[in-house]
A and B are shown apart, each in its own frame.
Chain A
Amino acid sequence: MKKQNSRLQYLVRTVAFVVAWNVIVSLVAVAQADETKPAAAKKLTGAELYAINCNRCHQERYPTEFTSAQWQTLMTHMRVRANLPAKQAKEILKYMKEEAGN
Protein backbone atom coordinates (compact mmCIF):
# COMPACT_ATOMS: atom_id res chain seq x y z
CA MET A 1 0.00 0.00 0.00
CA LYS A 2 2.83 2.32 0.97
CA LYS A 3 4.62 1.47 -2.27
CA GLN A 4 1.47 2.21 -4.26
CA ASN A 5 1.10 5.58 -2.55
CA SER A 6 4.68 6.42 -3.35
CA ARG A 7 4.21 5.54 -7.01
CA LEU A 8 0.98 7.51 -7.08
CA GLN A 9 2.70 10.55 -5.63
CA TYR A 10 5.43 10.23 -8.20
CA LEU A 11 2.91 9.97 -11.01
CA VAL A 12 0.96 12.95 -9.72
CA ARG A 13 4.10 15.05 -9.41
CA THR A 14 5.23 14.14 -12.93
CA VAL A 15 1.85 14.88 -14.46
CA ALA A 16 1.60 18.13 -12.51
CA PHE A 17 4.99 19.22 -13.81
CA VAL A 18 4.09 18.50 -17.42
CA VAL A 19 0.70 20.17 -17.08
CA ALA A 20 2.25 23.23 -15.47
CA TRP A 21 4.64 23.69 -18.35
CA ASN A 22 1.92 23.16 -20.90
CA VAL A 23 -0.10 25.88 -19.21
CA ILE A 24 2.88 28.21 -19.38
CA VAL A 25 3.40 27.41 -23.07
CA SER A 26 -0.26 28.01 -23.84
CA LEU A 27 -0.36 31.32 -21.96
CA VAL A 28 2.78 32.52 -23.65
CA ALA A 29 1.54 31.41 -27.06
CA VAL A 30 -1.74 33.24 -26.60
CA ALA A 31 -0.03 36.37 -25.30
CA GLN A 32 2.33 36.43 -28.24
CA ALA A 33 -0.15 35.27 -30.89
CA ASP A 34 0.05 38.50 -32.87
CA GLU A 35 3.81 38.41 -32.98
CA THR A 36 4.05 34.75 -33.90
CA LYS A 37 2.32 35.04 -37.26
CA PRO A 38 4.69 37.48 -38.97
CA ALA A 39 7.71 35.73 -37.46
CA ALA A 40 6.65 32.39 -38.86
CA ALA A 41 5.96 33.84 -42.28
CA LYS A 42 9.51 34.85 -43.18
CA LYS A 43 12.68 32.79 -43.35
CA LEU A 44 15.15 33.69 -40.63
CA THR A 45 18.61 34.98 -41.53
CA GLY A 46 21.86 33.71 -40.05
CA ALA A 47 22.05 36.77 -37.81
CA GLU A 48 18.52 36.14 -36.50
CA LEU A 49 19.19 32.44 -35.90
CA TYR A 50 22.40 33.40 -34.10
CA ALA A 51 20.42 35.76 -31.85
CA ILE A 52 17.82 33.09 -31.14
CA ASN A 53 20.15 30.18 -30.43
CA CYS A 54 23.47 31.49 -29.21
CA ASN A 55 22.38 33.03 -25.93
CA ARG A 56 20.12 30.28 -24.70
CA CYS A 57 22.83 28.76 -22.52
CA HIS A 58 25.51 31.46 -22.34
CA GLN A 59 26.11 35.11 -23.07
CA GLU A 60 26.41 35.86 -26.77
CA ARG A 61 29.92 35.45 -28.17
CA TYR A 62 30.66 38.23 -30.64
CA PRO A 63 31.61 37.11 -34.17
CA THR A 64 34.84 39.10 -34.00
CA GLU A 65 36.07 37.08 -31.02
CA PHE A 66 37.25 34.29 -33.32
CA THR A 67 38.59 33.90 -36.85
CA SER A 68 36.63 32.41 -39.71
CA ALA A 69 38.53 29.10 -39.40
CA GLN A 70 37.90 28.97 -35.66
CA TRP A 71 34.18 29.58 -36.18
CA GLN A 72 34.09 26.61 -38.53
CA THR A 73 35.35 24.38 -35.71
CA LEU A 74 33.30 26.06 -33.00
CA MET A 75 30.09 25.72 -34.97
CA THR A 76 30.69 22.01 -35.46
CA HIS A 77 31.21 21.76 -31.70
CA MET A 78 28.04 23.76 -30.98
CA ARG A 79 25.99 21.94 -33.60
CA VAL A 80 26.69 18.70 -31.73
CA ARG A 81 26.44 20.12 -28.22
CA ALA A 82 23.27 22.16 -28.76
CA ASN A 83 21.83 19.69 -31.26
CA LEU A 84 21.16 22.34 -33.92
CA PRO A 85 19.47 21.48 -37.23
CA ALA A 86 21.93 21.41 -40.13
CA LYS A 87 20.43 24.29 -42.12
CA GLN A 88 20.27 26.57 -39.09
CA ALA A 89 23.86 25.73 -38.15
CA LYS A 90 25.00 26.49 -41.71
CA GLU A 91 23.19 29.84 -41.78
CA ILE A 92 24.67 30.83 -38.43
CA LEU A 93 28.16 29.76 -39.55
CA LYS A 94 27.82 31.78 -42.74
CA TYR A 95 26.95 34.86 -40.69
CA MET A 96 29.77 34.28 -38.17
CA LYS A 97 32.32 33.85 -40.96
CA GLU A 98 31.18 37.04 -42.67
CA GLU A 99 31.57 38.99 -39.45
CA ALA A 100 34.60 37.09 -38.08
CA GLY A 101 37.72 38.73 -36.76
CA ASN A 102 41.09 38.46 -38.49
Chain B
Amino acid sequence: MKKNFTPRFIGSAAASCILGLVATQHAAATVSDEDFNALKNMVQQLQQARQQDQQQIQSLQQQLGETQTLATNAAVQASAVAQAQATPPRNALHNFTMVGDAEVQFAKTYGNGTHNGFVLADFAPIFLYQANEKVLFEAGFDVTVNNGSASGTNIVSNQPYTHDSSSSTSVSLSFAQLDYIINDYAMFVGGYMLLPLGTYSERTAGFLNKIPDDPFGVEFLPGAGAGAQLRGAWAVGDSGQMLTYAVYGANGPSSVDGSGNAYTLDSGGNKISNLDLGGNVGIQGSGDNGNLHSSPSGGGRLGWFIPWGGAHKDLELGISGQSGVWDDAGSYTWSACVLDAALHVGPDFELKGEYIDTWYSTADAGTVRPWGYWAQAGYKLAGLNLDVPVISDIELVGRFDKENDGLSTKSDRYTIGYVYYITNTLLFEGDYEFIHSTGPNALPPNQLILQLSYGF
Protein backbone atom coordinates (compact mmCIF):
# COMPACT_ATOMS: atom_id res chain seq x y z
CA MET B 1 0.00 0.00 0.00
CA LYS B 2 2.79 2.39 0.90
CA LYS B 3 4.49 1.86 -2.46
CA ASN B 4 1.32 2.90 -4.29
CA PHE B 5 0.75 5.91 -2.14
CA THR B 6 4.26 7.48 -2.29
CA PRO B 7 4.46 8.05 -6.07
CA ARG B 8 1.05 9.68 -6.01
CA PHE B 9 2.11 11.98 -3.22
CA ILE B 10 5.32 12.91 -5.05
CA GLY B 11 3.30 13.35 -8.20
CA SER B 12 0.94 15.69 -6.44
CA ALA B 13 3.82 17.74 -5.09
CA ALA B 14 5.46 17.92 -8.50
CA ALA B 15 2.20 18.91 -10.06
CA SER B 16 1.83 21.70 -7.52
CA CYS B 17 5.30 22.99 -8.35
CA ILE B 18 4.56 22.90 -12.03
CA LEU B 19 1.30 24.72 -11.37
CA GLY B 20 3.16 27.34 -9.43
CA LEU B 21 5.65 27.84 -12.25
CA VAL B 22 2.91 27.92 -14.79
CA ALA B 23 0.92 30.41 -12.75
CA THR B 24 4.00 32.64 -12.43
CA GLN B 25 4.62 32.46 -16.13
CA HIS B 26 0.90 33.17 -16.74
CA ALA B 27 1.23 36.29 -14.71
CA ALA B 28 4.27 37.27 -16.57
CA ALA B 29 3.16 36.28 -20.07
CA THR B 30 0.04 35.99 -22.05
CA VAL B 31 -1.64 32.57 -21.77
CA SER B 32 -4.17 31.33 -24.26
CA ASP B 33 -7.59 30.21 -23.04
CA GLU B 34 -6.91 26.77 -24.31
CA ASP B 35 -3.76 26.41 -22.20
CA PHE B 36 -5.48 27.95 -19.23
CA ASN B 37 -8.36 25.48 -19.41
CA ALA B 38 -5.94 22.60 -19.80
CA LEU B 39 -4.08 23.71 -16.73
CA LYS B 40 -7.37 24.24 -14.90
CA ASN B 41 -8.42 20.66 -15.66
CA MET B 42 -5.07 19.41 -14.57
CA VAL B 43 -5.38 21.24 -11.24
CA GLN B 44 -8.87 19.84 -10.72
CA GLN B 45 -7.64 16.33 -11.46
CA LEU B 46 -4.76 16.79 -9.04
CA GLN B 47 -7.16 18.02 -6.34
CA GLN B 48 -9.34 14.97 -6.86
CA ALA B 49 -6.31 12.70 -6.67
CA ARG B 50 -5.27 14.41 -3.43
CA GLN B 51 -8.72 13.92 -1.91
CA GLN B 52 -8.61 10.22 -2.85
CA ASP B 53 -5.19 9.92 -1.26
CA GLN B 54 -6.44 11.52 1.94
CA GLN B 55 -9.39 9.13 2.05
CA GLN B 56 -7.05 6.22 1.55
CA ILE B 57 -4.81 7.49 4.35
CA GLN B 58 -7.81 7.66 6.70
CA SER B 59 -8.90 4.17 5.68
CA LEU B 60 -5.44 2.80 6.32
CA GLN B 61 -5.22 4.52 9.67
CA GLN B 62 -8.56 2.99 10.66
CA GLN B 63 -7.42 -0.47 9.60
CA LEU B 64 -4.21 -0.01 11.56
CA GLY B 65 -6.22 0.86 14.69
CA GLU B 66 -8.39 -2.22 14.31
CA THR B 67 -5.35 -4.40 13.81
CA GLN B 68 -3.76 -3.01 16.96
CA THR B 69 -6.98 -3.71 18.94
CA LEU B 70 -7.09 -7.27 17.67
CA ALA B 71 -3.47 -7.80 18.54
CA THR B 72 -4.05 -6.47 22.06
CA ASN B 73 -7.08 -8.74 22.59
CA ALA B 74 -5.17 -11.76 21.29
CA ALA B 75 -2.35 -11.04 23.69
CA VAL B 76 -4.80 -10.81 26.61
CA GLN B 77 -6.48 -14.08 25.61
CA ALA B 78 -3.15 -15.85 25.16
CA SER B 79 -2.14 -14.72 28.63
CA ALA B 80 -5.42 -16.06 30.11
CA VAL B 81 -4.97 -19.42 28.36
CA ALA B 82 -1.40 -19.68 29.58
CA GLN B 83 -2.57 -19.01 33.13
CA ALA B 84 -5.37 -21.60 32.86
CA GLN B 85 -2.93 -24.18 31.57
CA ALA B 86 -0.52 -23.48 34.36
CA THR B 87 -3.28 -24.03 37.02
CA PRO B 88 -4.48 -27.67 37.35
CA PRO B 89 -8.28 -28.21 37.20
CA ARG B 90 -9.89 -28.11 40.62
CA ASN B 91 -12.73 -30.59 40.83
CA ALA B 92 -15.16 -30.06 43.68
CA LEU B 93 -14.56 -32.64 46.42
CA HIS B 94 -18.09 -32.89 47.77
CA ASN B 95 -20.56 -34.80 45.69
CA PHE B 96 -24.06 -36.01 46.40
CA THR B 97 -25.55 -38.80 44.32
CA MET B 98 -28.63 -40.93 44.67
CA VAL B 99 -29.07 -44.46 43.34
CA GLY B 100 -31.44 -47.23 44.36
CA ASP B 101 -34.39 -49.21 43.12
CA ALA B 102 -38.17 -49.27 43.07
CA GLU B 103 -40.60 -52.16 42.73
CA VAL B 104 -44.26 -52.87 42.18
CA GLN B 105 -45.37 -56.41 42.93
CA PHE B 106 -48.50 -58.39 42.12
CA ALA B 107 -49.07 -61.78 43.76
CA LYS B 108 -51.54 -64.61 43.96
CA THR B 109 -51.14 -67.16 46.71
CA TYR B 110 -52.98 -70.45 46.18
CA GLY B 111 -54.41 -72.72 48.81
CA ASN B 112 -55.04 -70.29 51.65
CA GLY B 113 -58.08 -68.42 50.35
CA THR B 114 -56.32 -65.10 49.81
CA HIS B 115 -57.24 -62.76 46.98
CA ASN B 116 -54.75 -61.85 44.33
CA GLY B 117 -53.62 -58.25 44.31
CA PHE B 118 -50.86 -55.71 44.21
CA VAL B 119 -49.02 -56.57 47.35
CA LEU B 120 -46.02 -54.30 47.30
CA ALA B 121 -44.97 -50.82 46.25
CA ASP B 122 -41.42 -50.18 47.32
CA PHE B 123 -39.07 -47.24 46.86
CA ALA B 124 -35.55 -47.92 48.09
CA PRO B 125 -33.17 -45.00 47.55
CA ILE B 126 -29.50 -45.07 48.49
CA PHE B 127 -28.05 -41.67 49.31
CA LEU B 128 -24.33 -41.33 48.66
CA TYR B 129 -22.47 -38.34 50.02
CA GLN B 130 -18.76 -38.17 49.24
CA ALA B 131 -16.62 -35.77 51.24
CA ASN B 132 -13.38 -36.56 49.42
CA GLU B 133 -11.72 -39.48 47.64
CA LYS B 134 -11.38 -41.41 50.89
CA VAL B 135 -14.63 -40.68 52.71
CA LEU B 136 -18.13 -41.71 51.71
CA PHE B 137 -21.34 -41.74 53.72
CA GLU B 138 -24.10 -43.95 52.38
CA ALA B 139 -27.59 -44.66 53.64
CA GLY B 140 -30.30 -46.90 52.19
CA PHE B 141 -33.99 -46.68 52.97
CA ASP B 142 -37.03 -48.77 52.22
CA VAL B 143 -40.22 -46.81 51.78
CA THR B 144 -43.12 -49.25 51.47
CA VAL B 145 -46.86 -48.90 51.24
CA ASN B 146 -48.77 -51.28 53.51
CA ASN B 147 -52.40 -52.13 54.02
CA GLY B 148 -53.99 -50.30 56.92
CA SER B 149 -55.02 -52.16 60.07
CA ALA B 150 -58.53 -53.45 60.66
CA SER B 151 -59.99 -51.28 63.38
CA GLY B 152 -63.31 -49.78 64.43
CA THR B 153 -66.86 -51.13 64.49
CA ASN B 154 -69.58 -51.20 61.88
CA ILE B 155 -72.30 -48.99 63.33
CA VAL B 156 -75.08 -50.90 61.53
CA SER B 157 -74.13 -54.46 62.48
CA ASN B 158 -72.27 -53.44 65.64
CA GLN B 159 -69.55 -55.89 64.62
CA PRO B 160 -65.84 -55.06 64.42
CA TYR B 161 -64.43 -54.53 60.97
CA THR B 162 -62.56 -57.53 59.66
CA HIS B 163 -61.00 -55.93 56.59
CA ASP B 164 -58.02 -53.66 56.45
CA SER B 165 -58.87 -50.05 55.90
CA SER B 166 -56.94 -47.62 53.70
CA SER B 167 -53.15 -47.85 53.71
CA SER B 168 -50.09 -46.68 55.58
CA THR B 169 -46.50 -46.03 54.66
CA SER B 170 -43.51 -47.48 56.45
CA VAL B 171 -39.98 -46.13 56.21
CA SER B 172 -37.15 -48.31 57.39
CA LEU B 173 -33.41 -47.76 57.41
CA SER B 174 -31.67 -50.58 55.55
CA PHE B 175 -28.19 -49.30 56.32
CA ALA B 176 -26.39 -46.08 57.22
CA GLN B 177 -22.63 -46.39 57.15
CA LEU B 178 -19.50 -44.31 56.91
CA ASP B 179 -16.82 -45.71 54.60
CA TYR B 180 -13.21 -44.62 54.98
CA ILE B 181 -10.53 -45.87 52.62
CA ILE B 182 -7.45 -46.40 54.78
CA ASN B 183 -5.10 -47.60 52.04
CA ASP B 184 -5.05 -49.89 49.00
CA TYR B 185 -5.74 -52.95 51.13
CA ALA B 186 -8.04 -51.81 53.93
CA MET B 187 -11.33 -49.93 54.20
CA PHE B 188 -13.12 -49.01 57.41
CA VAL B 189 -16.91 -49.22 57.59
CA GLY B 190 -18.82 -48.02 60.65
CA GLY B 191 -22.47 -47.50 61.50
CA TYR B 192 -25.53 -49.56 60.75
CA MET B 193 -23.97 -51.72 58.05
CA LEU B 194 -24.91 -54.57 55.78
CA LEU B 195 -23.26 -57.71 57.11
CA PRO B 196 -21.16 -59.83 54.76
CA LEU B 197 -22.72 -63.11 55.84
CA GLY B 198 -22.83 -64.72 52.44
CA THR B 199 -23.36 -62.32 49.55
CA TYR B 200 -27.14 -62.09 49.33
CA SER B 201 -27.47 -59.46 52.06
CA GLU B 202 -25.25 -57.08 50.08
CA ARG B 203 -26.82 -57.91 46.70
CA THR B 204 -30.48 -58.02 47.58
CA ALA B 205 -31.97 -55.03 45.73
CA GLY B 206 -35.01 -55.82 43.63
CA PHE B 207 -33.30 -55.34 40.28
CA LEU B 208 -30.30 -57.44 41.36
CA ASN B 209 -32.22 -60.51 42.41
CA LYS B 210 -33.73 -62.17 39.37
CA ILE B 211 -36.54 -63.75 41.36
CA PRO B 212 -38.94 -61.35 43.12
CA ASP B 213 -38.79 -62.86 46.61
CA ASP B 214 -35.94 -63.89 48.90
CA PRO B 215 -34.58 -67.42 48.87
CA PHE B 216 -35.07 -69.70 51.87
CA GLY B 217 -32.43 -69.57 54.57
CA VAL B 218 -31.50 -65.89 54.38
CA GLU B 219 -34.16 -65.03 56.98
CA PHE B 220 -32.04 -66.93 59.53
CA LEU B 221 -29.28 -64.33 59.14
CA PRO B 222 -29.12 -60.74 60.34
CA GLY B 223 -28.92 -58.70 57.14
CA ALA B 224 -27.53 -55.65 58.90
CA GLY B 225 -26.14 -54.68 62.27
CA ALA B 226 -24.72 -51.75 64.19
CA GLY B 227 -20.96 -52.03 64.45
CA ALA B 228 -17.63 -51.52 62.76
CA GLN B 229 -15.92 -53.41 59.95
CA LEU B 230 -12.59 -53.67 58.24
CA ARG B 231 -12.60 -54.99 54.68
CA GLY B 232 -10.39 -55.05 51.63
CA ALA B 233 -9.00 -57.01 48.71
CA TRP B 234 -5.78 -58.16 47.12
CA ALA B 235 -5.41 -58.57 43.38
CA VAL B 236 -3.82 -61.89 42.44
CA GLY B 237 -1.82 -61.44 39.25
CA ASP B 238 -3.09 -59.30 36.39
CA SER B 239 -5.99 -61.46 35.24
CA GLY B 240 -8.59 -59.81 37.51
CA GLN B 241 -8.38 -62.53 40.13
CA MET B 242 -8.68 -61.36 43.73
CA LEU B 243 -8.88 -62.40 47.35
CA THR B 244 -11.25 -60.45 49.57
CA TYR B 245 -11.74 -60.25 53.31
CA ALA B 246 -14.05 -58.62 55.85
CA VAL B 247 -13.93 -58.71 59.65
CA TYR B 248 -16.45 -56.97 61.85
CA GLY B 249 -17.96 -56.54 65.26
CA ALA B 250 -21.71 -55.92 65.57
CA ASN B 251 -24.29 -55.89 68.36
CA GLY B 252 -25.68 -59.11 66.94
CA PRO B 253 -28.89 -61.00 67.63
CA SER B 254 -30.63 -60.63 70.97
CA SER B 255 -33.49 -62.11 72.92
CA VAL B 256 -37.07 -60.82 72.62
CA ASP B 257 -37.80 -61.23 76.33
CA GLY B 258 -34.22 -61.10 77.55
CA SER B 259 -34.12 -64.76 78.57
CA GLY B 260 -32.26 -67.53 76.83
CA ASN B 261 -35.47 -69.44 76.13
CA ALA B 262 -36.15 -70.64 72.59
CA TYR B 263 -39.77 -69.47 72.57
CA THR B 264 -41.82 -66.63 73.87
CA LEU B 265 -45.58 -66.16 73.66
CA ASP B 266 -47.32 -63.45 71.68
CA SER B 267 -50.46 -61.65 72.88
CA GLY B 268 -52.58 -64.50 71.51
CA GLY B 269 -50.62 -67.13 73.41
CA ASN B 270 -48.92 -68.43 70.27
CA LYS B 271 -45.34 -69.66 70.39
CA ILE B 272 -42.92 -67.44 68.55
CA SER B 273 -39.16 -67.58 68.32
CA ASN B 274 -37.43 -65.67 71.06
CA LEU B 275 -34.48 -64.87 68.83
CA ASP B 276 -34.37 -61.29 67.57
CA LEU B 277 -31.94 -61.19 64.65
CA GLY B 278 -32.30 -57.45 64.29
CA GLY B 279 -30.38 -56.89 67.50
CA ASN B 280 -30.62 -53.67 69.42
CA VAL B 281 -29.38 -50.22 68.62
CA GLY B 282 -29.12 -47.25 70.95
CA ILE B 283 -30.69 -46.72 74.37
CA GLN B 284 -33.84 -48.55 75.38
CA GLY B 285 -36.92 -46.86 76.89
CA SER B 286 -35.86 -48.33 80.23
CA GLY B 287 -32.53 -46.53 80.00
CA ASP B 288 -30.61 -49.71 79.38
CA ASN B 289 -27.96 -49.82 76.69
CA GLY B 290 -29.16 -51.11 73.34
CA ASN B 291 -26.92 -54.13 73.35
CA LEU B 292 -28.57 -56.05 76.18
CA HIS B 293 -26.28 -59.03 76.09
CA SER B 294 -22.81 -58.96 77.58
CA SER B 295 -20.76 -58.34 74.42
CA PRO B 296 -21.12 -57.75 70.67
CA SER B 297 -20.79 -60.53 68.10
CA GLY B 298 -17.79 -60.98 65.84
CA GLY B 299 -17.79 -62.15 62.25
CA GLY B 300 -16.16 -62.04 58.85
CA ARG B 301 -15.95 -63.36 55.32
CA LEU B 302 -13.18 -64.61 53.04
CA GLY B 303 -13.79 -64.59 49.30
CA TRP B 304 -11.98 -65.72 46.19
CA PHE B 305 -12.88 -64.38 42.76
CA ILE B 306 -11.46 -66.20 39.75
CA PRO B 307 -12.14 -64.89 36.24
CA TRP B 308 -10.82 -66.76 33.24
CA GLY B 309 -10.78 -65.82 29.58
CA GLY B 310 -12.03 -62.24 30.07
CA ALA B 311 -15.51 -61.04 30.91
CA HIS B 312 -18.50 -63.23 31.81
CA LYS B 313 -16.42 -66.23 32.74
CA ASP B 314 -15.76 -66.30 36.44
CA LEU B 315 -16.23 -68.14 39.68
CA GLU B 316 -16.62 -66.62 43.13
CA LEU B 317 -16.36 -68.63 46.32
CA GLY B 318 -16.84 -67.40 49.84
CA ILE B 319 -17.03 -68.56 53.41
CA SER B 320 -18.36 -66.39 56.21
CA GLY B 321 -19.50 -66.65 59.79
CA GLN B 322 -20.57 -64.81 62.90
CA SER B 323 -20.78 -65.74 66.57
CA GLY B 324 -21.72 -64.09 69.86
CA VAL B 325 -23.99 -64.32 72.90
CA TRP B 326 -27.65 -63.46 72.37
CA ASP B 327 -29.38 -63.47 75.78
CA ASP B 328 -29.17 -60.68 78.35
CA ALA B 329 -27.10 -62.71 80.81
CA GLY B 330 -24.58 -63.62 78.14
CA SER B 331 -24.98 -67.32 78.80
CA TYR B 332 -26.09 -68.56 75.40
CA THR B 333 -24.40 -68.25 72.02
CA TRP B 334 -25.77 -67.69 68.53
CA SER B 335 -23.55 -68.66 65.57
CA ALA B 336 -23.79 -68.80 61.79
CA CYS B 337 -21.75 -70.21 58.93
CA VAL B 338 -22.43 -69.45 55.27
CA LEU B 339 -20.86 -70.87 52.12
CA ASP B 340 -21.55 -68.93 48.96
CA ALA B 341 -20.69 -69.45 45.31
CA ALA B 342 -21.44 -67.81 41.97
CA LEU B 343 -20.48 -69.06 38.52
CA HIS B 344 -20.73 -67.33 35.12
CA VAL B 345 -20.07 -69.37 31.99
CA GLY B 346 -20.32 -66.90 29.13
CA PRO B 347 -22.59 -63.87 29.02
CA ASP B 348 -25.78 -65.93 29.11
CA PHE B 349 -25.45 -68.46 31.92
CA GLU B 350 -25.26 -67.88 35.65
CA LEU B 351 -25.43 -70.22 38.62
CA LYS B 352 -25.26 -69.08 42.24
CA GLY B 353 -26.24 -70.25 45.66
CA GLU B 354 -25.65 -70.25 49.39
CA TYR B 355 -25.59 -72.82 52.13
CA ILE B 356 -26.65 -71.24 55.43
CA ASP B 357 -26.26 -72.93 58.77
CA THR B 358 -27.08 -71.28 62.10
CA TRP B 359 -27.33 -72.63 65.61
CA TYR B 360 -27.99 -71.17 69.03
CA SER B 361 -28.02 -72.64 72.51
CA THR B 362 -31.13 -72.03 74.63
CA ALA B 363 -32.19 -72.40 78.26
CA ASP B 364 -35.20 -74.58 77.53
CA ALA B 365 -34.77 -76.39 74.22
CA GLY B 366 -31.12 -77.26 73.93
CA THR B 367 -29.46 -76.19 70.68
CA VAL B 368 -31.83 -74.91 67.99
CA ARG B 369 -30.48 -75.18 64.48
CA PRO B 370 -32.17 -73.22 61.67
CA TRP B 371 -30.56 -73.93 58.31
CA GLY B 372 -31.30 -73.58 54.64
CA TYR B 373 -29.78 -73.48 51.20
CA TRP B 374 -30.63 -72.19 47.78
CA ALA B 375 -29.32 -72.60 44.25
CA GLN B 376 -30.43 -70.37 41.40
CA ALA B 377 -29.68 -70.57 37.69
CA GLY B 378 -30.38 -68.15 34.86
CA TYR B 379 -30.06 -68.44 31.10
CA LYS B 380 -30.45 -65.50 28.73
CA LEU B 381 -32.18 -66.49 25.52
CA ALA B 382 -29.91 -64.08 23.65
CA GLY B 383 -27.48 -67.01 23.77
CA LEU B 384 -29.63 -68.84 21.21
CA ASN B 385 -28.80 -66.15 18.63
CA LEU B 386 -32.37 -66.11 17.36
CA ASP B 387 -32.20 -62.38 16.70
CA VAL B 388 -35.84 -61.96 17.75
CA PRO B 389 -36.18 -58.74 19.79
CA VAL B 390 -38.52 -59.83 22.60
CA ILE B 391 -37.16 -63.37 22.92
CA SER B 392 -33.58 -62.14 23.01
CA ASP B 393 -34.44 -59.84 25.92
CA ILE B 394 -35.71 -62.66 28.14
CA GLU B 395 -33.77 -64.59 30.75
CA LEU B 396 -35.20 -67.81 32.11
CA VAL B 397 -34.56 -68.45 35.79
CA GLY B 398 -35.02 -71.38 38.12
CA ARG B 399 -34.37 -71.88 41.82
CA PHE B 400 -34.48 -74.65 44.34
CA ASP B 401 -34.35 -73.80 48.01
CA LYS B 402 -34.93 -75.61 51.24
CA GLU B 403 -35.01 -74.70 54.93
CA ASN B 404 -35.66 -75.94 58.42
CA ASP B 405 -36.36 -73.28 61.05
CA GLY B 406 -35.22 -75.56 63.87
CA LEU B 407 -38.63 -75.14 65.49
CA SER B 408 -40.40 -77.95 63.58
CA THR B 409 -41.28 -76.12 60.35
CA LYS B 410 -39.66 -77.50 57.20
CA SER B 411 -40.09 -76.18 53.68
CA ASP B 412 -38.76 -76.77 50.22
CA ARG B 413 -39.60 -74.95 47.04
CA TYR B 414 -39.17 -75.20 43.27
CA THR B 415 -39.38 -71.90 41.42
CA ILE B 416 -39.50 -71.24 37.70
CA GLY B 417 -39.59 -67.77 36.25
CA TYR B 418 -38.39 -65.22 33.76
CA VAL B 419 -36.88 -61.77 33.56
CA TYR B 420 -37.81 -59.54 30.65
CA TYR B 421 -35.24 -56.78 30.26
CA ILE B 422 -37.17 -53.75 29.03
CA THR B 423 -33.94 -51.79 29.46
CA ASN B 424 -30.72 -52.68 31.25
CA THR B 425 -32.24 -51.56 34.57
CA LEU B 426 -36.00 -51.83 34.02
CA LEU B 427 -37.03 -55.45 34.54
CA PHE B 428 -40.37 -57.21 34.32
CA GLU B 429 -40.03 -60.38 36.38
CA GLY B 430 -42.39 -63.23 37.07
CA ASP B 431 -42.25 -66.58 38.78
CA TYR B 432 -44.36 -69.48 39.91
CA GLU B 433 -43.38 -71.28 43.12
CA PHE B 434 -44.21 -74.86 44.05
CA ILE B 435 -43.92 -75.00 47.83
CA HIS B 436 -43.98 -78.01 50.10
CA SER B 437 -44.10 -76.98 53.73
CA THR B 438 -44.97 -78.71 57.02
CA GLY B 439 -45.01 -77.65 60.65
CA PRO B 440 -46.59 -74.98 62.84
CA ASN B 441 -45.48 -72.12 60.56
CA ALA B 442 -46.08 -73.96 57.28
CA LEU B 443 -46.25 -71.86 54.12
CA PRO B 444 -49.15 -71.98 51.60
CA PRO B 445 -48.68 -74.46 48.75
CA ASN B 446 -48.13 -72.36 45.63
CA GLN B 447 -47.54 -68.77 44.70
CA LEU B 448 -47.42 -66.57 41.60
CA ILE B 449 -45.50 -63.31 41.71
CA LEU B 450 -45.11 -60.63 39.06
CA GLN B 451 -42.81 -57.68 39.63
CA LEU B 452 -41.78 -54.55 37.81
CA SER B 453 -38.40 -53.51 39.08
CA TYR B 454 -36.33 -50.46 38.27
CA GLY B 455 -32.76 -49.75 39.30
CA PHE B 456 -31.66 -46.14 39.14
Contact = CB atoms under 8 A, between A and B. Distances in A.
A84 B233 CA distance: 6
Nearest to B203: A57
Contacts of B312: 51-52, 55
B244 A83 contact: yes
Interface string A18-38: 100100110011001001100
Nearest to A84: B233
Contacts of B313: 32
Contact of B130 (A36, A40, A76, A84): A76
Given A28-B315, A85-B184, A36 B308 contact: yes
A80 B193 CA distance: 11
Q: Dominant SS at the A interface?
A: helix
28 contacts: A6-B369, A14-B355, A24-B315, A32-B308, A32-B313, A36-B239, A36-B309, A44-B239, A48-B240, A48-B310, A49-B240, A52-B307, A52-B310, A56-B316, A58-B208, A59-B421, A59-B425, A66-B97, A74-B97, A74-B128, A76-B136, A79-B181, A80-B187, A83-B231, A83-B233, A85-B234, A85-B242, A86-B184
Nearest to A87: B235
Given A6-B369, A40-B239, A83-B233, 7 more contacts: A17-B355, A53-B240, A73-B96, A77-B138, A80-B187, A80-B231, A88-B242
B187 A17 contact: no
A15 B357 CA distance: 13
Contacts of A73: 95-97, 128, 130, 136
B309 A35 contact: yes
The 4 closest A-B pairs by CB, nearest first: A51-B311, A86-B184, A35-B309, A85-B235
Contact of A80 (B95, B136, B344): B136
Interface stretch (B36-44, B112-120, B335-343): B335-343
A14 B424 CA distance: 36
Contacts of B309: 32, 35-36, 39
B436 to A, nearest CB: 20
B345 interface: yes
A55 B185 CA distance: 23
Interface of B: 91-92, 95-97, 99, 126, 128, 130, 133, 136, 138, 179, 181, 183-185, 187, 189, 199, 202-203, 205, 207-208, 231-235, 237-240, 242, 244-246, 303, 306-317, 337, 339, 341-345, 355, 357, 369, 421, 424-425, 455
Q: Dominant SS at the B interface?
A: strand
B394 to A, nearest CB: 14
Contacts of B99: 74, 77
A57 B350 CA distance: 10
B388 to A, nearest CB: 20
A10 to B, nearest CB: 7
Contacts of A35: 308-310
Nearest to A18: B339
Contacts of A87: 184, 235
Nearest to A38: B309
Interface in A87-102: 87-88
B411 to A, nearest CB: 17
Contacts of B235: 85, 87-88
B311 A76 contact: no
A22 to B, nearest CB: 9
Interface string A65-83: 0100110111011011101
A79 B238 contact: no
A52 B166 CA distance: 47
Given A83-B233, A87-B235, A44 B308 contact: no
